[in-house]
Chains A and B, each alone.
Chain A
Amino acid sequence: MNKGTGSLVEVEDLNVHFPIRHGVVISRYIGDVRAVDGVSFDIKRGETLGLVGESGCGKTTTGRAILRLVEPTSGRILFEGNDIAQMPRKDLRRMRRRMQMVFQDPYSSLNPRQNVANIVAEPLRVHGIAEGREAEKRVRELLEVVGLPKDSQNRYPHEFSGGQRQRIGLARSLALNPDLIVADEPVSALDVSIQAQIINLLEELQDTFDLTYLFIAHDLAVVRHISDRVAVMYLGKIMEIAPSAHLYERPLHPYTKALLSAVPIPDPKVERTRERILLRGDLPSSVDPPGGCRFHTRCPWAQRERCPDEVPELRVLDSGHLGACHYAEDIEAGRITTRTLDDAVVVAS
């Protein structure tokens, strides 16, 4: 499998809505949390697609919906052309061998009562692929691949540090030789010196096993580092998708601009001189998101026309660069400047 031989995953108009019910005796339906609201993107074979956004933007739900760990409300999820969203359970199980998930918290995603050998061998048993000697051999290989010492097999999760536990989780996810790994904040719980070890390991594993990654994280520097392309989400919608270098050098969506400018850079010289876009206020609720463009209530460039009532479509702004903003070109060309109103300010520090 070579890089760039088409899409492994195509997501089309994915919606995941969670009903909100109220009342103890009679539970009444009172609305929906629109965690994912009309999201479309594709993941090419062998690439890493980064999915970033702040808490509650729907990035985790999107990742889970792709594996059908949450049921999509509507939309299509094509894995090599087969629609996972509609697939019967029986077929889904076979399909799931080829896609695995790595979680944020290596503590709660490993069974504390199982030793490492059992944890890593479990997928092999569940899917009836290997048992006994054969499974043992495979476990030994996997532990070596993720850089765990040989004697880890008979030890239990609590005996390992956070970074090592994440390695155990990776070994387990690799057991079935998957094509796709959905990694949900895989390094967020780790200290920086350990974070780098796991990021490097993820990159090595991708090269060795031709893996395709959906890398979900809130840390933009990490996402930029590991991803080929990046999708930015806000309140259940994708705001911008672009090749990683492109997105960071020339963000075209106002939300991306604000997000990037908010990330502290470990260099006092840069910190002193760069321009910051400080967004006023908090994230609106996804139960009752703003109409029109979801970001217009906090957007320093928002216009009175279109932004409050017309939902911007994700459209091509540049080659391979998609954005959902009515005025992206005007902002880029400087025809629209930032407002210094109550809800947003731009600070040149």
Chain B
Amino acid sequence: MALLSVTDLEVKFFTRRATVHAVRGVSFDLEPGQTLGIVGESGCGKSVTSLAMLGILPRAGRVTGGEVRFEGHNLLELRDARLRDVRGKDIAMVFQDPMTSLNPSLKIGRQITEVLTKHLKMDKDSSEREAVELLGRVGIPNARDRLDDYPHQFSGGMRQRVMIAMAIACHPKILIADEPTTALDVTIQAQILDLLRRLVEEEGMALILITHDLGVVAGVCERTNVMYAGRFVETAPTGELFARPRHPYTLGLLKSVPRLDAARKEKLDPIGGAPPELSLESPGCSFAPRCAYATQESRERIPELRALDTKDHLVACWNPVPDEDLPTRVSDEWAAG
């Protein structure tokens, strides 16, 4: 049985000006220990999906449908107190900007021990010992001396390590990381991704990694979901998704990023136009106005996710990308010499 099962999740934001339909029926299962990526561009609803699951949407946002099953309970129906218990203990979250998610006026040690005393009912001494242990595990040198430091005394990368230490403090079953490396320099990003990979393995926890960076999911996730305008448009094992993207949007994304290892310089092939306003409902596929493969049907009926090629590879498209249009991969070219 899946560890976490999301079915038809819908989220709307009610503002004075308009109602924004941010998440439009998202479903997925997460198995224990699985690493799952959600990729998409800004405003596609990837962060909102995770916030909604944990009941921490901003005030204007409301879950308007669906369920989120975790260990037999629908998280969306839990009382606040029960949900707070799950959050932080069973399901932990790491955000993009560690400066805003850490309390700037509390010492790091205090912020970590708080998690331990609250969720695991540890006493002062053992929680401090554990905090030192945790900081050591996430690679903070001289952990004992740093307990009395404030967040501003840490660099960006170190702050993210502190956040990760707090997140794994209670040995969660699921870690949700929302753009955990976006604010970091590339050499620091490599350190943090390496740390996440290692911790997922050591702890046996499942990981939901939310990012806009295709390179990051390629290196970390077993399975990847591509999100566009509030829906998953393609979901597949990561290798399969990159080798045979069937949704025109996935293909478009892959063709529009310059690759560091490209054999030769080629003109980039951008996706024309811009993503739709999420305050508008469209009768058909949201990607149709930007899509070279769109048909009459695409404009009239919303495509559901359905299996293509294998039962693991699902695509929401009326006219999926045919084999002959798939990109030749650099790695294959290399293999061929």
Contact = CB atoms under 8 A, between A and B. Distances in A.
Contact of B259 (A226, A262, A266): A266
B326 interface: no
A245 B261 CA distance: 10
B329 interface: yes
B92 to A, nearest CB: 23
Interface string A155-167: 0000001010000
A271 B219 contact: yes
A224 B329 contact: no
B159 to A, nearest CB: 11
Contact of B254 (A222, A266, A282): A266
Contacts, number: 137
A197 B267 CA distance: 10
Given A54-B186, A264-B216, A283-B185, A199 B258 contact: yes
B330 interface: yes
A282 B212 contact: no
B256 A196 contact: yes
A279 B261 contact: no
A266 B242 contact: yes
Contact of B274 (A161, A260, A283): A161
Interface residues of A, number: 44
Given A194-B270, A262-B186, A262-B187, A268 B219 contact: yes
B321 to A, nearest CB: 16
A200 to B, nearest CB: 6
Contact of A264 (B218, B242, B254, B329): B218
Interface string B202-221: 00000000001111101100
Give the size range of B's interface with the partner: 35 or more
Contacts of A264: 189-190, 193, 213, 215-216, 218-219
Nearest to B331: A269
A266 B329 contact: no
B187 A225 contact: no
Which DSSP category, helix, strand, loop or mixed, fits chain A's interface? helix
A198 B70 CA distance: 43
A159 B49 CA distance: 27
Interface string A278-311: 1110110000000000000000000000000000
Nearest to A57: B185
Interface in B272-322: 272, 274-275
B60 interface: no
Interface in B144-199: 155, 157-158, 185-191, 193-194
B236 to A, nearest CB: 11
A263 interface: yes
Given A161-B274, A225-B268, A191 B42 contact: yes
Interface of A: 54-55, 161, 163, 191-197, 199-200, 203, 218, 220-222, 224-226, 245, 248, 258-271, 276, 278-280, 282-283, 347
Interface of B: 41-42, 155, 157-158, 185-191, 193-194, 212-216, 218-219, 238-239, 242-243, 252-254, 256-262, 265, 267-272, 274-275, 329-331
7 contacts: A55-B185, A196-B258, A197-B270, A218-B185, A265-B259, A267-B329, A267-B330
